[in-house]
Amino acid sequence: MSQHPQDPIQLAEEIRAALESPDAEKKLGDLLREIRSEDIAVVLDDLSPRQKRKVFSVIETEAQAEVIDDTDATSQEQIIDHLDSELLREILEEMPPDEATDLLNELPQNRRREVLAGMDPETTVELLRLMQHPPESAGGIMTLDYISTEADSTAGMSLQRVQSQIDSEVVNYVYVIDEKRHLKGVVSIRDLLGSNPDIKIENLMNTEVISVLVNSDQEEVANLVRRYGLKAIPVVDDDQHLLGVATIDDIVQVISEEADEDFYRIAGSPEGHPSQQKILKRAMVRIPWLLLPVISGFILAWLHPVDEASSIRQILESAADRRLLLAAFIPLVMGIAGGVGTQSATLVVRGMAVGDIEIGRSTLRLFRQEVIIGLLIALSIGLVIGSVILVFDGIQTGEINLLFPVAVTAGIGIGILLASAFGTAIPILCGKMGLDPALVAGPFITSFNDVTAAITFMLVTEFILNNA
């Protein structure tokens, strides 16, 4: 294995080359043995479902557990659906219990039952106990794999207990409980190592333990860890019974996830990890949010001073009146273009910040994807707007005039497409030039898109109306 992490794009190419070679099985095995399972997890995203399963089948069970745990939802699904229950069970047994629980929660109920049925009873009980807690609560991220001791034990005895449970997930702290499992204190491994082995735990333990209730939101857990610089936090019930321990490595994931979630929600595109979702799905989650600027845009168009006595057909006959009518739609165009551009830009900025998007060949792929998504959004939102105009005008005049709605739809559609392209391209270009993409992603792109979309809209619509 290399000391520095590998470039996922280059890795994907090497894997594809190995897959196509005559002795694929051996080549692939040799290659994958050299690669960390975290890197394999990332690379899967770049492979076809068949290739994913091939790669997965070549690696050892332990690595399989890590890959399944770390990879994106789509790859996870594609692999698990084709896995026989026996292997899936082995993989689940390899995973830390808190993560095995998350995976079990994703399975269809009968599959879950089948997998659990073959497991040893102890693990089954542990997993079922963890599955009671919502995945985003303290109970959902805690592990049961910690070490406890009693107040009247000694430092030496407790250290021996650590040594006998050395594979436990939490070894840095030993939690002190009474006979009813009430949390009484905590001793760090540092204290155990640095003390006389005969000293009593009750004289060594810190009784001022910060703990968290099992049903607290994971965000609260993260905030406590951050505020108090903790490396692990015990999870208790209302009666202070120790139920488990949330560790900092899980909490690092939580902090990132919660920040991602807020980012995408503020941008109006709650997509999860964007580049790891299917394109159609990515367009679908963004469209509902864009109906908000459509609604406000129509309100503003309706408030705009237009000669209300005339029908659209009459208005269109005078060039000046026509420009005025089109101007009434500029707030709508601006709102949509700003919304689409912010969505695209935020996804790029956040993806680059957390390393999901690397500046390189994969940005071109991202740009292509965003343009396709922009096109899908442009078509849907354009059609919505065109239909509304058609119906309004139809009700007013009793006639169906297609020209104006079609022209407006085209103008807004092309504006949306450009906004999406600029929203993606500008932060990528900034990143390539070594500037912080977040600095341009907000007001700059919004203002830029406002102007370009409005001008595009006027030009395209006037062109169609003049030439029809």
Residue 353 near a second copy by CB under 8 A: yes
Nearest-approach distance from CB 29 to a second copy, in angstroms: 18
In the three-class reduction of DSSP (H, G, I as helix; E, B as strand; rest coil), residue 177 is classed as strand
Q: Which of 215, 253, 369, 397 binds a second copy (CB under 8 A)?
A: 253
CA geometry: angle at 262 spanning 290 and 274, to 5°? Answer: 65
**Binder of a second copy out of 248, 425, 428, 430 (CB under 8 A):** 248
Can residue 360 be called a binding residue for a second copy (CB under 8 A)? no
User: Is residue 98 at the binding interface for a second copy, with CB under 8 A as the rule?
Assistant: no
- Coil/strand/helix, residue 191: helix
Dihedral sign for Cα atoms in the order 200, 166, 217, 214: negative
Q: In which residue are the tokens 């503020």 written?
A: 266
| 303 sits near a second copy (criterion: CB under 8 A) | yes
Given candidates 26, 33, 50, 190, which one binds a second copy under the rule CB under 8 A? 190
Rounded Cα distance between 162 and 172, Å, is: 9
Q: With binding defined as CB under 8 A, does residue 194 bind a second copy?
A: yes
Cβ closest to a second copy, residue 87 vs residue 171: 171
Q: Which of 93, 150, 237, 258 lies at the binding interface for a second copy (CB under 8 A)?
A: 258
Q: What is the DSSP string of 88-111?
A: HHHHHHHS-HHHHHHHHHHS-HHH
Instruction: Please report whether residue 289 would count as binding a second copy according to CB under 8 A.
Output: yes
Residue 337 near residue 416 (C-beta atoms within 8 A): yes
Identity of the residue, 266 or 383, whose beta carbon is nearer to a second copy in the bound complex: 266
Q: Is 459 in the site for a second copy (CB under 8 A)?
A: no
Choose between 51 and 216: whose C-beta lies nearer to a second copy: 216
| Span interacting with a second copy, options 87-95, 271-279, 345-353, 395-403, rule CB under 8 A | 345-353
Residue 57 or 223 having the CB closest to a second copy: 223
DSSP state of 206: B
DSSP 136: T
Residue 228 within binding range of a second copy, rule CB under 8 A = yes
At 212, which helix (H) or strand (E)? strand 212-213
Q: Which of these segments, 47-55, 74-82, 330-338, 380-388, binds a second copy (CB under 8 A)?
A: 330-338
CB of 118 to a second copy, least distance (A): 28
**Residues 22, 38: Cα–Cα separation, whole Å:** 27
Residue 216 found at the interface with a second copy (CB under 8 A): no
Residue with tokens 């497409």, as numbered in its chain? 417
Kindly state the smallest distance separating residue 86's Cβ from a second copy, in Å. 27
Q: Which residue has the tokens 């499992």?
A: 181
* Site for a second copy, residues 33 to 62, rule: CB under 8 A: 36, 38, 42
Q: Which is nearer to a second copy, 131 or 294 (CB)?
A: 294
Residue among 128, 400, 443, 466 that touches a second copy (CB under 8 A)? 443
Can residue 300 be called a binding residue for a second copy (CB under 8 A)?
yes
- Spatial distance between the Cα atoms of 187 and 176, rounded to a whole number of angstroms: 7
Kindly state the tokens that stand for 45.
């995203």
What mask of x and - would describe binding to a second copy in positions 403 to 442, judged by CB under 8 A?
---------------------------------x-xx-xx
User: What is the closest distance, in whole angstroms, from the C-beta atom of residue 289 to a second copy in the complex?
Assistant: 5
Min. distance of Cβ 440 from a second copy in angstroms?
9
Nearest to 414 by CA among 466, 446, 378: 378
Q: How far is residue 314 CA from its own chain's centroid?
A: 51
Residue 139 found at the interface with a second copy (CB under 8 A):
no
- Angle of the 97-106 helix axis to the 73-80 helix axis, nearest 10: 80
Q: Is-contact 344 420, C-beta < 8 A?
A: yes
Q: Which residues contact 433 (CB under 8 A, 6 or more apart)?
A: none
Which residue in 156, 171, 359 sits closest to 247, CA to CA?
Answer: 171
The number of residues that bind a second copy (CB under 8 A) is 96
Contact flags string 68-87 toward a second copy, x per CB under 8 A:
--------------------
In this chain, which of 50, 113, 182, 265 binds a second copy, going by CB under 8 A? 265
- Per rule CB under 8 A, is residue 225 in the interface with a second copy? yes
Give the C-alpha separation, 270 to 347, whole Å: 10
